[in-house]
Amino acid sequence: GAVVSQHPSRVICKSGTSVKIECRSLDFQATTMFWYRQFPKKSLMLMATSNEGSKATYEQGVEKDKFLINHASLTLSTLTVTSAHPEDSSFYICSARDPGTLPYEQYFGPGTRLTVT
- 19 or 36, CB closer to another protein? 36
- 22 or 108, CB closer to another protein? 108
- Residues of this chain that bind another protein (CB under 8 A): 1, 4, 6, 34, 36, 43-46, 49, 91, 93, 95, 102-111, 113
In the complex, what is the shortest distance from the CB of residue 102 to another protein, in angstroms, rounded to a whole number?
A: 7
Residue 29 φ then ψ, to 5°: -95, 120
C-alpha 94/C-alpha 16 separation (Å) is 23
For residues 96 and 76, is the Cβ–Cβ distance under 8 A? no
Residue 19 DSSP SS3: strand
- 77 or 95, CB closer to another protein? 95
In the complex, what is the shortest distance from the CB of residue 98 to another protein, in angstroms, rounded to a whole number?
A: 10
- 52 or 105, CB closer to another protein? 105
In the complex, what is the shortest distance from the CB of residue 76 to another protein, in angstroms, rounded to a whole number?
A: 17
C-alpha 111/C-alpha 68 separation (Å) is 17
Taking phi first (over 0 means left), then psi (-120 to 50 degrees means alpha), and beta for anything else, what does residue 74 get? alpha
